[in-house]
Amino acid sequence: MLLRMSNLFLRTLREDPADAEVPSHKLLVRGGYVRRAAPGVYSWLPLGKIVLENVARVVREEMDGIGGQEVLLPALLPREYYEATGRWDDYGDTLFRLQDRKGADYLLGPTHEELFTLLVKGEYSSYKDFPVILYQIQEKFRDEARPRAGVLRGREFHMKDSYSFDIDDEGLQAAYDAHRAAYVRVFERLGLEYVIVSATSGAMGGSASEEFLAVAPTGEDTFVRSTESDYAANVEAVTTPAPAARPIEGLPEAVVHHTPGTATIQTLVDFLNAAGLGRDFVEADTLKNVLVKTRAPGSDEWELLAVGLPGDREVDFKRLEAALEPAEVALLDESDFAANPFLVKGYIGPRALLDNKVRYLVDPRVVTGTAWVTGADRDQHHVIDLVAGRDFTPDGTIDVAEVRDGDPSPDGKGTLYTARGIEIGHIFQLGRKYTDAFQVDALGSDGKPKRITMGSYGIGVSRAVASVVEQSHDDKGIVWPREIAPADVHVVGTGKGDQIEEALRVAGELRDQGLRVLVDDRKGVSPGVKFTDAELLGVPTSVIIGRGLKDGLVELRDRATGEREEVALGDIVERTVAACRG
């Protein structure tokens, strides 16, 4: 490959685009890699197309390496398949929907679980046919509410999606593990710093799931990691270690107090500390009972749910939704309180909840033998020293309290802190959600039908390009890892003599050595502009053919380290090849 900048369809920009906030958006636009066509919809220009294809190649090689078979499915999909799995509705506004000339409903594929499931159902029927892993690299469409950050979160984007089909859970686990290992190799080759976090499922349905997050302060995903281990997880997936149960014997009796004007935790604590009870209270001594309502999928009935948690913590609604999925969850409104007069706002306690058969789940910290200040189910009254396991027995635990910096890491090593990342990969044990929907069975070795189990696995190919730039840039421009760089070497000819001709000659030789070469052979462009462009474009190695040429000297530059070295012209090809091949 030899690209000449004198005719390359490339114009760099000195100014950041007005709508750009994150580095990858700014630099990919300024470097002429992408151009915006519509909100969240981008065109890939020649150098961008090369980088995108390089990422796709890495993904393809690693998918082939685990026995994945490449196919290509359409983007235009009939409603009926997504209706069968409920995703036509579940996806909400995020799905692009359209009608054809006959009024039939279609959608633009956001992911392809349905079609792959049907494809396998159509071809395979015996346990001998399995396992199989199919993948494609293809455009996906999602009508994001807030498309932003260039190709980081687009509405039309490039994704590798793969699907595993197995006869049993062990097979699914093996396919999942193989994908996990392949993803590690992909992201290592892309030079990305990433974490693997436990994840919840979203609209996909299913169980075990991990996300690969590229660590970046500009990331949209929050996750927590440990100060002292590799532990990392989505906030939704953090598990709170339960303390050991404590002995109940000898604990004081529960006593109801008149606590006027204490409908909030802070006013309650202040009241108690001012009440001369002979001890100090903090918010963590109180048990807050938060009421919500839930509705099972397909049901019309809302059911009350109470969540009991230490008063110094709020319920994290995202964690709550994840914990209750696939049920819906909503806050109570006034009519709910009116219909349940035993709920005394600000003074709700376990007693009334349990007496009235409200499902009551508590934070893992609320173990047997812990004593709490909590509502007494009477206006202006609280009870002190209400002991879990003695005075009330909740229906179970639910781990939905907010996670805070400094909380102990679930693996027992260090404490948690919050970081941000970009989701670049997702692996997912779907189980039988889709094969149940489409009744995909294979005849087992025992002659009986077995329901197939399934995994789905995604890599954001276009997003990976932007994620690399988020992590690998400086104030001058992009610093591409060699594996996906648009070229191995950028040969720059500067000056008014025969430097440009010499640059073309050297470039040709480097190309003949098998390198992918970009050569700046533009006439009438100043050396400063050429150097600025080279740094912005971010090719790993540069060869500068400039004023030193008259003395037989050229310069070899390394974009990442900034190192520069004068090299004799006669040695430059060999030295450059060595630098590029490392």
Binding stretches for a copy of itself (CB under 8 A): 7-11, 32, 35, 37-38, 41-46, 48-49, 52, 67, 69-78, 93-94, 96-98, 100-101, 106, 108, 115, 119, 122-124, 132, 134, 139, 141, 143, 145, 155-156
Provide, rounded to whole angstroms, the least separation between the CB of residue 200 and a copy of itself. 24
Provide, rounded to whole angstroms, the least separation between the CB of residue 53 and a copy of itself. 9
Classify strands 255-258 and 287-295 as parallel, antiparallel or unpaired. unpaired
Instruction: Indicate the residue among 160 and 559 with the shorter CB distance to a copy of itself.
Output: 160
301 contact partners, CB below 8 Å, separation of at least 6: 295
End-to-end CA distance of the chain: 19
Instruction: Indicate the residue among 162 and 240 with the shorter CB distance to a copy of itself.
Output: 162
Provide, rounded to whole angstroms, the least separation between the CB of residue 69 and a copy of itself. 5
Provide, rounded to whole angstroms, the least separation between the CB of residue 40 and a copy of itself. 9
Other CB atoms within a 10 A radius of the CB of residue 363 amount to 22
Provide, rounded to whole angstroms, the least separation between the CB of residue 298 and a copy of itself. 25
Residue 302 phi, psi (nearest 5): -90, 140
Instruction: Indicate the residue among 94 and 513 with the shorter CB distance to a copy of itself.
Output: 94
The 381-387 sheet, strands edge to edge? 255-258, 381-387, 371-375
Provide, rounded to whole angstroms, the least separation between the CB of residue 239 and a copy of itself. 35
Provide, rounded to whole angstroms, the least separation between the CB of residue 527 and a copy of itself. 19
Instruction: Indicate the residue among 122 and 528 with the shorter CB distance to a copy of itself.
Output: 122
Distance CA 53, CA 573 (A): 26
Other CB atoms within a 10 A radius of the CB of residue 360 amount to 22
Q: Which residue's structure tokens are 């693996």?
A: 411
Instruction: Indicate the residue among 165 and 360 with the shorter CB distance to a copy of itself.
Output: 165
Instruction: Indicate the residue among 138 and 415 with the shorter CB distance to a copy of itself.
Output: 138
Please, how many CA atoms are within 13 Å of residue 500, restricted to the half-sphere of its CB? 15
Instruction: Indicate the residue among 9 and 252 with the shorter CB distance to a copy of itself.
Output: 9
The 517-520 sheet, strands edge to edge? 2-4, 517-520, 489-493, 541-545, 553-558, 564-568
Provide, rounded to whole angstroms, the least separation between the CB of residue 347 and a copy of itself. 43
Instruction: Indicate the residue among 128 and 550 with the shorter CB distance to a copy of itself.
Output: 128
Residue 89 exposed, middle or buried by CB count within 10 Å (0-12, 13-18, 19+): exposed
User: Torsion-angle region of residue 517: left (phi > 0), alpha (psi -120 to 50) or beta?
Assistant: beta
34 contact partners, CB below 8 Å, separation of at least 6: 28, 42, 43, 44, 45, 48, 150, 151
Instruction: Indicate the residue among 93 and 177 with the shorter CB distance to a copy of itself.
Output: 93
**Mind giving me the DSSP string for 507-535?**
HHHHHHTT--EEEE--TT--HHHHHHHHH
Provide, rounded to whole angstroms, the least separation between the CB of residue 479 and a copy of itself. 23
What SS3 state is found at 80? helix
Structure tokens at 80: 């009926």
